[in-house]
A and B are shown apart, each in its own frame.
Chain A
Amino acid sequence: DAKTTQPNSMESNEEEPVHLPCNHSTISGTDYIHWYRQLPSQGPEYVIHGLTSNVNNRMASLAIAEDRKSSTLILHRATLRDAAVYYCILRKTSYDKVIFGPGTSLSVIP
């Protein structure tokens, strides 16, 4: 099962961009890169996902390395509401186990 590694914690100032890294050196060709976040006392929430190309949506951008062994979640302007634990996971189109790591706890400083 392919796994991901992320920094345990990161800090950002409010209104500044945040780059959250994720390493997935054992990724296979059928693995999609997903990002979820979990706010205190809530269930995980989908943020974005991609396969090979960079992706943008209203919440964030996902930059995927050319060799796909790493990716970066980009929050363009951090707000206090973005303080959460961010998880990077790999998922296959075919049904399979999902492995969550401990994620990155993001703190946003006013």
Chain B
Amino acid sequence: EAQVTQNPRYLITVTGKKLTVTCSQNMNHEYMSWYRQDPGLGLRQIYYSMNVEVTDKGDVPEGYKVSRKEKRNFPLILESPSPNQTSLYFCASSPTGATEAFFGQGTRLTVV
């Protein structure tokens, strides 16, 4: 089954404790991206990747890092999380920039 898998689905952490949210897709897609969703602000793109070792900033990249060492994986790294990064995060993948995008089920992160 074609899918984008995020882990964990829920995470509560403390300020400053480094964390990684994993994203994996099984469709051999080149394009992957991360979004955060906050009430009243909709979905905002954090980072995107066009292929292995190629990434670029979206609209809200501050405080986040990503890596794309393998085509299927695109982890989101928060080196020093802060409470303003409490949000619902989605990973997505698509074959190209203009084709159907598949989204993961989301990761609800709370930073206290």
| Total number of A residues with any Cβ neighbor in B under 8 Å | 23
Mark interface residues in A24-48 (1 if CB within 8 Å of B CB, else 0): 0000000010101000001111100
Give the distance to chain A from B99, nearest Cβ to Cβ, in Å: 8
Per the 8 Å Cβ criterion, residues 29-54 of B in contact with A are 31, 33, 35, 40-45, 48, 50
| Total number of B residues with any Cβ neighbor in A under 8 Å | 27
Mark interface residues in B83-112 (1 if CB within 8 Å of A CB, else 0): 000000010100011111111111000000
Residue in B closest to A1 when the chains form the complex, CB atoms: B59
- CA separation between A36 and B35, bound complex, in Å? 14
A99 touches B97 (CB 8 A): no
With A97-B58, A98-B48 in contact, do A91 and B97 touch (Cβ < 8 Å)? Answer: yes
- CA separation between A102 and B80, bound complex, in Å? 28
Residue in A closest to B50 when the chains form the complex, CB atoms: A95
- CA separation between A109 and B87, bound complex, in Å? 30
A43 touches B103 (CB 8 A): yes
A36 touches B31 (CB 8 A): no
Mark interface residues in A78-110 (1 if CB within 8 Å of B CB, else 0): 000000000100011111111111110000000
B31 touches A95 (CB 8 A): yes
- CA separation between A97 and B98, bound complex, in Å? 11
A–B Cβ pairs within 8 angstroms, 16 of them? A34-B101, A42-B106, A43-B104, A49-B99, A87-B42, A91-B97, A91-B101, A94-B97, A95-B50, A95-B96, A96-B97, A98-B45, A98-B48, A99-B45, A101-B42, A102-B41
